[in-house]
Structure 1
């Protein structure tokens, strides 16, 4: 079940972050480190009502922040739409629940949340050497929109976007086509 995160979840979220950073280091992926993300980032996400956790049997399987906040670096990207977008940030899956569809579930939730808010466009980014996230975004139908320099990292970040089709629109489109 995906629900809004609560302050009490931060300890477990930070355990997932620590494990994720350790794993990233094995692949020489420095997207996240000891300086980012920190508990304060997740605390602010919770206060804003933007952080969601995927929970099963009182265990957090993963989490995602979804909001309207676009880094200024997004201004130089050739996005496929000028529509208002929701942005997927700070997403991770608990290593105990990998390869169980949690990442897809969190992205599907992000789409549903956007549609519920009258938005049919998603944006996101990840470090160019973060093979797992790059693969997940492509698998879920995101389009590579460009790359940007970000967070002072040595390699670029890849930016992705996706125009979301409402299920009813897809059904209507199939009837007409």
Structure 2
């Protein structure tokens, strides 16, 4: 079940993130590390009521921020529209819970939030080595917009959008 996160969920969310970072880094994907995402990032999402968790049997198995606030570089991207959008970010699913459709459920939730807010435009991004996320975006009808080099990560960010 997806619900808005609560303060009591932060430790479990950070456990999910830690387990996810370990798997990502083991696969050569260094999009996340010990500097991002931090508890403060999720606390900010929580404070704005933009943080959601996927809970099953009272265990948090995943988290995502579904926000009207874009990443700082988004104004530099060649989006197809300048309309206000919902941005899906900081999505993490515990490695032991993968394959259950949790990430798909989060993307459906982002569409629901977008429609509820009267916004018909969605944005997201991922690093080029995160092929799992790229497949997720394709499954949900997102289209590729632009690729940007991130020298300090020795990788590129890929930006995606969808109109609903």
Q: TM-score range, shorter-chain basis? A: over 0.9
Would the aligned equivalents of 1:73 and 1:149 in 2 still touch at CA under 8 Å? no
**Cα gap change, 1:159 to 1:65, in 2 (>3 Å):** same
Correspondence 1:34 to 2:70: no
Shift of 1:150: 4.6
Correspondence for 1:92: 92
Alignment partner of 2:52: what SS?
strand
TM-score (norm 2): 0.95
Gaps of 5+ in 2: none
Correspondence 1:138 to 2:134: no
Find the aligned partners of 1:72 and 1:93 in 2 and give their Cα distance.
24
Structure 1 outlier segments of 4+, above 6 Å: none
Find the aligned partners of 1:11 and 1:50 in 2 and give their Cα distance.
17
Question: What CA RMSD, in Å, does the superposition of the two structures yield over aligned residues?
Answer: 1.3
Count, aligned residues: 164
Find the aligned partners of 1:22 and 1:57 in 2 and give their Cα distance.
24
Which one has a bigger Cα radius of gyration? 1
Superposed CA offset, 1:82-126 (max 9, x none): 211011110011122111111110000000011000001000001
Correspondence for 1:51: 51
Gaps of 5+ in 1: 165-177
The structure richer in strand per residue is: 2
